[in-house]
């Protein structure tokens, strides 16, 4: 049995060990990164998030207007370098947030979302602008 170590910079314990096949290792690593982001990075900003919620209008709008599927938009929460900011400018009625991240195909996306009933509700998803990309790529 081959053991594979993955190092995750933001993870306080430093190393994550998986074993078995490469496919299982990759799956476990991505699952780890996803839960690490949701449970540590996202929850620091967005407490009590448990799932995603979409309404029909936003799924269709993002696909038609920006060619971003809801699956692609959700994938950025697997990105270990995701950056999340509170969007004060658009938070008059409810808190809104901006996320900058990359999906599985390294497509860099900008998301606008809110939290309703402990669920991430994506309002808009599109490709990052040049300015947003520089901010995302800044360490």
The pair of three-digit structure tokens given for residue 101, joined into one six-digit string: 């991240």
Using CA atoms, how far apart are residues 80 and 93, in angstroms rounded to an integer? 30
Residue 30 and residue 78 in contact, taking contact as beta carbons nearer than 8 Å: yes
Looking at residue 124, its pLDDT comes to 92
- Render each residue's pLDDT in the chain as its tens digit; 139 residues: 344 444 443 333 444 444 445 566 777 777 777 666 655 555 555 555 668 898 877 788 999 999 999 999 999 988 888 898 888 776 678 888 899 999 989 999 999 998 888 888 999 999 999 999 999 998 6
Give the pLDDT score at 14: 41
- What is the pLDDT at residue 45? 56
pLDDT (0 to 100) of residue 131: 95
pTM for the model: 0.65
pLDDT at 20: 47
Look at residue 23 in the predicted model and tell me its pLDDT. 65
3-class secondary structure, 101: strand
pLDDT recorded at residue 4: 41
- Torsion, Cα 19 78 74 111, to 10 degrees, reads 180
| Cα distance between residue 36 and residue 30, in whole Å | 10
Domains of the chain: which residue ranges? 3-137
């Amino acid at each position: 049995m081959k053991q594979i170590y993955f190092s995750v910079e933001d993870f306080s314990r430093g190393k994550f060990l998986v074993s078995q096949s490469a496919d299982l290792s990759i799956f476990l690593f991505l699952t780890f990164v996803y839960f690490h982001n949701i449970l540590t990075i996202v929850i620091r900003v967005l407490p009590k998030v448990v799932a995603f919620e979409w309404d029909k209008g936003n799924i269709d709008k993002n696909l038609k207007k920006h060619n971003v599927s809801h699956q692609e938009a959700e994938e950025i929460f697997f990105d270990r370098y995701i950056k999340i900011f509170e969007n004060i400018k658009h938070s008059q009625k409810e808190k809104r947030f901006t996320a900058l991240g990359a999906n599985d195909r390294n497509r860099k996306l900008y998301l606008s979302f809110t939290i309703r009933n402990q669920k991430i509700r994506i309002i808009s998803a599109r490709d990052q602008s040049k300015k947003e990309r520089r901010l995302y790529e800044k360490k």
